[in-house]
Amino acid sequence: MWRAEIKSVNLEQVMRLAQSMVTHFPSKLTLGITGTLGAGKTTLVQFIAEAAGIEKESVTSPTFTLLQTHRGSVTLHHMDAYRLHDEDEFLELGVEELFEDDAWTLIEWADRVRDVMPTDTLWIDLSPCEQSDLRHIEFTSECSKLHAHVSHLDRIEIQPE
């Protein structure tokens, strides 16, 4: 498991980070996005959508719709595991098929279904800073290939094991 982080980013920097992710990351990817309510999970997905040429406003909090698919320069499957009761309910949604798709599957609250997430998931944790408009962003994954992609991001600090 490797770890990398970007400290104290404002909204505009999150937007630039999303652009850089769309530029550097593979077209098939699973992102497990974690962090408390209001941490900025949906905001990150909106910036990723915008960077992929998708109207940002079409990306809403998927808490009630469970799955939204958006097609841009990359296809985005956007989900939210917050209201799921257990991993079975998550699997019943057909997520394993999504994981195989040549697309990005972005799952908010993915820590709730961690046991059935793919081993090559790129985990992104957002956490608040003392200053209310800033966030810390931490990337972790078991997938060593993804480490090379993440190392291209601006301001990234790779942490020793």
What does the binding site for Mg ion look like in residue numbers (CB under 5 A)? 41-42, 61, 108
Q: How far is the CB of 148 from Mg ion (least distance, A)?
A: 29
Closest to 74 (Cα-Cα) out of 102, 100, 36: 102
CA quadruple 56, 61, 62, 65: dihedral positive or negative? Answer: negative
Binding span for ligand ADP by CB under 6 A among 15-23, 31-39, 83-91, 142-150: 31-39
CA 75, CA 96: separation in Å to the nearest integer?
A: 16
40 sits in which H/E element? none
Select the residue interacting with ligand ADP from 6, 15, 29, 39 (CB under 6 A). Answer: 39
Q: Nearer to ligand ADP by C-beta: 115 or 133?
A: 133
| Interacting positions 98-157 with ligand ADP (CB under 6 A) | 108, 133-135
Give the amino acid at 70: H
Asked if 41 interacts with ligand ADP (CB under 6 A), we say: yes
- For ligand ADP (CB under 6 A), the number of binding residues is 17
- The Cα-based distances of 106 to 14, 15, 68 in angstroms read 16, 16, 10
CA 155, CA 32: separation in Å to the nearest integer?
A: 21
Which positions touch ligand ADP (CB under 6 A)? 9-11, 14, 35, 37-43, 61, 108, 133-135
